[in-house]
Amino acid sequence: MTTATLSIDLGAIVRNWQALDATSTCETGAVVKANGYGLGAPVVGRALVRAGVRNFFVATAAEGATLRAAIGNGPVIYVFSGHMDGDTGAIRDAALTPLLNSVDQMLRHVEALPGAPFGIQLDSGMNRLGMEPGEWSAVRDIAIAQGPVMLMSHLACSDEPDHPMNAQQLGAFHEMTDGLDIPRSLAATGGTLLGTDYHFDMTRPGVGLYGGLPFIEAEPVVTLDLPVIQVRDVAIGESVGYANSWTAPRASRIATISGGYADGLIRAMGPRATLYAGDVPCPVVGRVSMDLITADITTLGHDPSHLQLMGRHQSIDTVAAAAGTIGYEILTQLGLRYERVFSE
Ligand SMILES: *Cc1c(COP(=O)(O)O)cnc(C)c1O
């Protein structure tokens, strides 16, 4: 079998959600955008529903429609991109709750689907999505008369607890929403860990559910085992891979594994990445290519059937550091060629 196995521990996802839920007394939602951070939104969503999750967040209406088909009626599905042109059918048919970002979106929503639920996204300083304070104060009374089910905003620096931006955005969000008696949500994973001041009525963690930073205590969720296709001896002074980028400093044994940048194994990680054969680290040598990676197994003493990239020895964030990126990107790039195996 030349397909890598991506093992996904649904039990760990549920326990990570429960651990984040236990930090607050408010509702805890679950962000499953980008196909559940690359792991499979339908399966992850169903596991979270079984664990009692009632509120989900996705990025787009199309993601919401896919999730609705998987989890059935009942849970609320919020859509961060709001109600865009062309979304009306999906929002209606899948009973989605768009988080409206602008006056234009609000007009579109109340005209197309009068009486259909919606929330409002406010910009507390990140300058990415949501109504800005001036716009909000101009339309606030009209908007509230339409009965929004949630007022939300998003923190720009919540993975840095000491960053002054956190308190600044908290203050701005209070200013825009205090006294309105509408449920509020500000915190993603990072904000959830900042403490009760940031929790309001609902937290909405994403990456922490999947075992990523900034949730340091998260249980790991993914294991990635890559099959070895071929093993060879390389003499001292011979080179391996594209552009001869690695030259054997000694007689070496090199394993070629199935998996490359087309599977989300980011090419830039090559010079710093390590694979594992059981407990033994096997450094990646040569370039990461589209479908293949070469690793030095000289010290191993036997030819393994698989090498592991993520799992017991290496987290998504360790791999991310080798590639100069963040765990979020490693997760959401996980390849479609992998066989995804879910365990409870
Ligand atoms: C992605 C996202 C989240 C979840 O963020 P994590 O850092 O993964 O917990 C929450 N809210 C908004 C608006 C988002 O875009």
Binned at pLDDT 50, 70 and 90, residue 285 comes out as very high
Give me the pLDDT at residue 270, please.
87
Is the pLDDT score of 1 beyond 60?
A: no
Average pLDDT rounded to a whole number, residues 149-169: 98
User: Is 214 a pocket residue for ligand 1 (Cβ < 6 Å)?
Assistant: no
List every span in the chain annotated with CATH 3.20.20.10.
10-210
Q: Which atom of ligand 1 sits closest to the CA of residue 207?
A: 8
Q: Which residue has the tokens 């409002």?
A: 120
Give kind and range of the element (H or E) at residue 36.
helix 33-37
C-alpha to C-alpha distance for 35 and 43, rounded to whole angstroms: 10
Instruction: Check residue 12 and report its DSSP letter.
Output: H
User: Is 209 a pocket residue for ligand 1 (Cβ < 6 Å)?
Assistant: no
The CA 249 to ligand 1 mean position distance, Å, reads 45
Which residues lie across from 239 on neighbouring strands? 247
Look at strands 339-343 and 5-9 and give their pairing: parallel
Percent of the chain with pLDDT over 90: 98
Which residues lie across from 6 on neighbouring strands? 224, 340
Give me the pLDDT at residue 101, please.
97
Cβ–Cβ under 8 Å, residues 121 and 153: yes
Binned at pLDDT 50, 70 and 90, residue 3 comes out as confident
C-alpha to C-alpha distance for 131 and 99, rounded to whole angstroms: 11
Q: What is the pLDDT of residues 305-337, one digit of tens each?
A: 999 999 989 999 999 999 999 999 999 999 999
Cβ–Cβ under 8 Å, residues 80 and 57: yes
List every span in the chain annotated with CATH 2.40.37.10.
222-343
Give me the pLDDT at residue 278, please.
96
Give me the pLDDT at residue 167, please.
98
Of 33, 198, 261, 276, the active-site residue reads: 33
Residue 74 tokens, joined = 């009942």
Q: Which residue has the tokens 């296709």?
A: 229
Look at strands 339-343 and 280-285 and give their pairing: unpaired
Is the pLDDT score of 154 beyond 60?
A: yes
Give kind and range of the element (H or E) at residue 135.
helix 133-145
Q: Is 33 a catalytic residue?
A: yes
User: What CA–CA distances, in Å, run from 169 to 103, 175, 204, 294?
Assistant: 21, 10, 17, 46
Q: What is the pLDDT of residues 47-59, one digit of tens each?
A: 999 999 999 999 9
Binned at pLDDT 50, 70 and 90, residue 344 comes out as confident
The CA 36 to ligand 1 mean position distance, Å, reads 12
Superfamily of domain 10-210: Alanine racemase (3.20.20.10)
Average pLDDT rounded to a whole number, residues 273-281: 96
Burial of 146 (0-12, 13-18, 19+ CB in 10 A): middle
Residue 61 tokens, joined = 């209406």
User: Is 80 a pocket residue for ligand 1 (Cβ < 6 Å)?
Assistant: yes
User: Is 206 a pocket residue for ligand 1 (Cβ < 6 Å)?
Assistant: yes
Is the pLDDT score of 66 beyond 90?
A: yes
Task: Ligand 1 pocket test: pick from 80, 127, 153 the residue with the most ligand atoms within 8 Å of its Cβ.
Answer: 80
Look at strands 119-121 and 97-100 and give their pairing: parallel
Q: Is 242 a catalytic residue?
A: yes
Cβ–Cβ under 8 Å, residues 176 and 132: no
Average pLDDT rounded to a whole number, residues 281-290: 96
Of 78, 198, 242, 328, the active-site residue reads: 242
Could you give the dihedral angle defined by the CA atoms of residues 43, 49, 54 and 56, in that order, rounded to the nearest 10 degrees? Answer: -10
> Domain 222-343 belongs to what topology?
Lyase, Ornithine Decarboxylase; Chain A, domain 1 (2.40.37)
Average pLDDT rounded to a whole number, residues 83-87: 97
Is the pLDDT score of 210 beyond 70?
A: yes
Q: Amino acid identity, residue 259?
A: G
The CA 54 to ligand 1 mean position distance, Å, reads 17
**Model pTM?**
0.96
Long-range contacts of 87-96 (CB under 8 A, 24+ apart): 87/61, 88/112, 88/113, 90/61, 90/62, 90/64, 90/65, 91/61, 91/64, 91/116, 92/116, 93/65, 94/61, 94/64, 94/65, 94/68, 94/69, 95/68, 96/61, 96/64, 96/65, 96/68
